[in-house]
Structure 1
Amino acid sequence: MSVTVIGIGADGWDGLPPASRAELASCEVLMGSSRQLDLVPGDVERVPWPSPLVPALPDLLARHAGRRVGVLASGDPMFHGIGTTLVRLLGRDRVRVVPHPSSASLACARLGWALDDVTVVSLVGKPAALLVPHLHPGRRVLVLGGTPREVAALAPDARLTVLEQLGGPGERVHDSLDDADPLHVLAVECGADGASLVPGRPDGLYEHDGQLTKREVRAVTLALLAPRPGELLWDVGAGAGSIAIEWCRTHPTCRAVAVERQPERAARITRNATALGVPGLEVVVGTSPAALDLEPPDAVFIGGGLTAEGVVERCWAAVKPGGRLVANAVTLESEAVLTRWHGLLGGDLGRIEVSRATALGGFTGWRPQMPVTTWAVTKESA
Structure 2
Amino acid sequence: MTDQTLRCPRCGRDGTGTAGCPACRADGVAVNLELPLADLRGRDLASYPGGPWGWPGTVPLPPDADPVALGEGNTPNVRLEDPAGVWVKNEGANPTHTHKDRYMAAAVATARAGGSTTVIAASSGNAGASAAAYAARAGLRCIVVTTSSLPPVIHAQILAAGAVVVGFPDSVARNNVMRRAVDELGWFPLTNYVEPGAGGHPHAVEGLKSVAYELARDLGDSLGAVVVPTSRADLLAGIGRGFKELVAAGLLRAAPRLVAAEPSASAAYVRALAKTGRPAQERTEIPYVSTAAFSIGSDVANWQGLQALWDSGGSAVAVDEADFLAEQRGAAAQGLFLEASSAVAVAAARRLPADGAVVAIGTASGVKDIDLVLRDAPPLPVIGESLTQLRELLQRVSGR
Pairwise TM-score range, normalised by the shorter structure: under 0.3
> Is the radius of gyration larger for structure 1 or structure 2?
1
User: Which has the larger share of helix?
Assistant: 2
User: Which has the larger share of strand?
Assistant: 1
| Structure ranking higher on relative contact order (CA contacts 8 Å, 6+ apart) | 2
